[in-house]
A and B are shown apart, each in its own frame.
Chain A
Amino acid sequence: MMPLQSVYMIRLSLAWLLLSTLVGAVLLVHKAYGIHPSAWLLLPLHFEMAIWGWMVQLVIGTAYWMFPRFLRIDIRGPELPAWIMVFLFNSGLFLILSGHMVKSASGLILSGRILLLTGIGIFIYLIWSRVISYRNL
């Protein structure tokens, strides 16, 4: 059964995929029609949403769901850190995107990167002991 944290991460990754595609489509059309000179400011948003929001988040959500589970009640480890991971990852990405849009607000991108990195650190903590085989127990 897919855990709720994975449901959130995979669905959020689909939402980021759609947003990234929309932004990418605007950039592609801008190349041909020259919509507005500032359209290129959207380019880093397109990258960040595609790589972190879509690909990395989908991989984390799927790994948290599919990797071998523990032989105890909390089959995927403690739930609270997993929820914190979902929150930090997406709020970090949101801050990074805001930092790209509001150039005057310095520190937003750095804060976002710190949150994103903390989220990934929690993922490593949760998944490390699940990289295991029970075959020879």
Chain B
Amino acid sequence: MPKISRLFIKSGIIYFFLGMILAFVAEMPFVNTGALLLPVYWHMIVVGWVTQIIMGVSIWMFPRIGKERKKTETTPAYLAFWLLNSGLILRFTIEPFIPLFSANKAVSAVVLISALLHISAIISYITEIWPRVRTRPIKVRRSE
């Protein structure tokens, strides 16, 4: 398994654990946060866990093209990992506090940056995986 897949899968497992803990905490009778934590733990589970596991496994298992036949890491895959995880960390840190600091420009700017990081991460992942989703491997002749 390439290193980038291990990073995706291990961080996915961490988000799964955190998401379940947060969902549990949000259900406690003495925690009265209303729906503030709901988008946080849902995104921890759906994006942090499920989507990252899919990304890690697909980068590992999907057919490779040409020179990449050896399971090496590529720049778009690394970009996808770091952009997605920095976007998620920013989002999970700031999202529950948005209603409290709605007039604060710095908070709004962090939210905007987080949204842009999410989009950039998905574009990087698609850049990595799109050419590998194909019917027949492209044969590359070795130059003598």
Contact = CB atoms under 8 A, between A and B. Distances in A.
Contacts, number: 65
A100 to B, nearest CB: 19
B135 A28 contact: no
B111 A2 contact: no
A55 B108 contact: no
Contacts of B136: 1
B37 interface: no
Contact of A21 (B50, B119, B130): B119
Contact of B118 (A25, A33, A54): A25
A133 B135 CA distance: 25
A69 interface: no
Nearest to A22: B119
A102 interface: no
Given A7-B135, A18-B123, A25-B116, A32 B98 contact: yes
A127 interface: no
Given A1-B135, A25-B116, A32-B102, A18 B54 contact: no
A86 B109 CA distance: 40
Nearest to A4: B135
Given A14-B126, A25-B118, A32-B108, A58 B54 contact: yes
B134 interface: yes
Contacts of A11: 130, 133
B91 interface: yes
Interface string A69-107: 000000000000000000000000000000000000000
Interface of A: 1-4, 6-7, 10-11, 14, 17-18, 21-22, 24-26, 28-29, 31-34, 50, 54-55, 58
